[in-house]
Structure 1
Amino acid sequence: MLVVPDAGRISCWLNAWLAGHESTDHVIDAVSWGDRRVEFISVGTRECLSVALLLGELRRLRVSRVSLALPRPGNPLGLGGPSEFNAAALEAGAAIVLHGPGTGFVPARRGSVTSWVGAPATPPPYLPDMQQADRDLRGALLDTAERLAELDVASWSPEAADAVMNLRVAGQLDSPMALPSPAATRMTISALRCNAIVQLALRDHGGAATSNEMSARSQALRPLERASHAAIVAACSSLDGR
């Protein structure tokens, strides 16, 4: 089961609603999928908004698009500022940005509820497009597979080696996604699988005898991690799947 980032799920469903592809009821159910209780804290008034009220705010504020941010140290993917918002998003590992009103939301887990806290935010100056992200992901996967074979990944992370071998097996998402096209869906599944491989391989350095070997493994995996994040951001931030 492939784990969909909450910020990615929310971004794609809000975009589907903005594009007129999904009904309000479907979006409310999907954003609060399963036992995921969510609330949104508005900027300024600090009012707590349900998903239904958030949708009304999107319409009132004339939001044109919702983009996903998956920043990591040294890679502010999906962020445009200001620095306070970027720092909060980097600490949380994710954020969503509303294009139009200059607002973004950063998740904060509080017990069984995830509060998405609003703050001033600028849309990013650059978002990866679908075609480029797909090419980059495919290229990074080929390069990483070769490097992992050279580093004998099977000896120190058999699970990651098996995952690489089974990439062509159909993957299943842990929650519904309203992605804008079949191509976006395929790329998202591929990106999530690639990211899972990275996490499996980085989780266990059991076969590493030296710090140099551990560093070599991390360096081999980081390009695939960056490409998988960029592909997820591209798919979940797209209105038309292109």
Structure 2
Amino acid sequence: MLSEPRSGRLAAWGNAFFAGLVPPDDTVTAIVGDDAVHRVEGLPGEPAPVGIALALGRLRSLGATGLRVALPAPGHPLGLSGPPEFNARALEAEEAVVCHGAAYGLVPEVHEAGPEGDVHTEVVWHCLPVREAPPADVPSLGEAERELAEALREATEVLTRLDVAGSGPVAEAAIDAYRARADKGGEVLAPGYPGRAVRVLEMARRVGLLVRVAYENGPGGAVSAGEMAARAAALRPVERTARRARVAAYNSVVEERERGVR
């Protein structure tokens, strides 16, 4: 899908903020997006929840030099490094942000507030201790790009053979519509990211949307149980590959800095 996870916005714009590429107000606006407010609770030295700008400043004072994204799914702790308590919270939320340089991570809790007809979304990021270790199963940008291209070809062949709606014009129309909406939303990634990361993230979004459309647009010609199982088998690894690629794109600034590229 083309929508951006909240962890992606926080990590991307937080990294740009750490690098001095965007001012605090612009950082907060980009991270909050269409939500009403984001706050961070549990920060060391802060007895009450604080706003995003103060939270990023506090994390930097604690040693954080970058932010990584985790997009875990059952059986696939993508981007996580422990401990189990943090992993469980991240898995429940299906996303998290992990600091580089400081042993802390952030897990979002999203809820709606306000009267009927005027409901808005509020987000509380819970700051929790994490284990300082390499994140699980995150590929390099080059690996992610190659895997995406291969997975997309294989899945398209299988879905076309099964006459699944997600492999034809329905999917293309949906992708074009979402792309138009995304283009209106501004930058794909925050300033400071390499062009390859932008390309990988755009492709991962496209692949993710293809998977979603294939699931949502009925069985097409895949009417037997065996054919339905074949479709699911084709989509599962593609969805996994798309998630890995998205994490690789969001984390690329930190990974390249670690390797001394930037």
User: Larger deviation: 25-34 or 175-184?
Assistant: 175-184
- CA drift at 1:85: 0.9
Provide the aligned length of Structure 1 versus Structure 2: 240
> Could you tell me which residue of structure 2 aligns to residue 181 of structure 1?
194
Secondary structure, aligned partner of 1:96: strand
Structure 1 counterpart of 2:228, from 214, 217, 225: 214
- The 5 Å alignment of 1:1-242 reads 2-43=2-43, 47-111=48-112, 112-123=121-132, 125-126=134-135, 127-154=138-165, 159-160=170-171, 172-173=182-183, 174=185, 176=187, 177-178=189-190, 180-207=193-220, 208-239=222-253
Which structure's relative contact order is higher, taking Cα pairs within 8 Å and 6+ residues apart?
A: 1
User: Larger deviation: 149-158 or 54-63?
Assistant: 149-158
Which stretches of structure 1, 4 residues or longer, exceed 6 Å deviation after superposition? Answer: none
- CA drift at 1:218: 1.0
- CA drift at 1:84: 1.1
C-alpha distance after superposition, 1:74-121 (max 9, x if no partner): 111001111111111111111111122211111111222011111111
- CA drift at 1:5: 1.2
Is contact 2:41–2:48 with CA below 8 Å preserved after alignment?
yes
- Going from structure 1 to structure 2, the CA distance change for 1:203 and 1:185 (only over 3 Å counts) comes to same
Task: Please report the TM-score for the alignment, with normalisation by the length of structure 2.
Answer: 0.81
Letter in 1 for 2:165: A
Q: Distance in 1 between matches of 2:215 and 2:11?
A: 27
- CA drift at 1:18: 1.8
C-alpha distance after superposition, 1:171-201 (max 9, x if no partner): 8354643050222112111111110111111
Is contact 1:128–1:231 with CA below 8 Å preserved after alignment?
yes
User: Larger deviation: 188-197 or 23-32?
Assistant: 23-32
- Going from structure 1 to structure 2, the CA distance change for 1:50 and 1:89 (only over 3 Å counts) comes to same
Letter in 1 for 2:109: A
- CA drift at 1:226: 1.1
Letter in 2 for 1:49: V
C-alpha distance after superposition, 1:151-182 (max 9, x if no partner): 11239986336558x69x87835464305022
**Which residues of structure 2 form unaligned runs of 5+?**
113-120, 257-262
**Which residues of structure 1 form unaligned runs of 5+?**
none
Task: Please report the TM-score for the alignment, with normalisation by the length of structure 1.
Answer: 0.87
- CA drift at 1:213: 2.1
Secondary structure, aligned partner of 2:55: helix
The alignment-based identity, stated in percent, is 37
- Going from structure 1 to structure 2, the CA distance change for 1:209 and 1:157 (only over 3 Å counts) comes to farther
Is contact 2:2–2:208 with CA below 8 Å preserved after alignment?
no
Is contact 2:167–2:210 with CA below 8 Å preserved after alignment?
no
Is contact 1:32–1:38 with CA below 8 Å preserved after alignment?
yes
Letter in 2 for 1:199: R
- Going from structure 1 to structure 2, the CA distance change for 1:36 and 1:185 (only over 3 Å counts) comes to farther
Is contact 1:14–1:66 with CA below 8 Å preserved after alignment?
yes
- Alpha carbon RMSD of aligned pairs, Å? 2.7
Q: Distance in 1 between matches of 2:103 and 2:2?
A: 32
Secondary structure, aligned partner of 1:237: helix
- Going from structure 1 to structure 2, the CA distance change for 1:101 and 1:162 (only over 3 Å counts) comes to same
- CA drift at 1:133: 1.0
Secondary structure, aligned partner of 1:115: strand
Letter in 1 for 2:128: A
User: Larger deviation: 202-211 or 27-36?
Assistant: 202-211
- CA drift at 1:136: 1.0
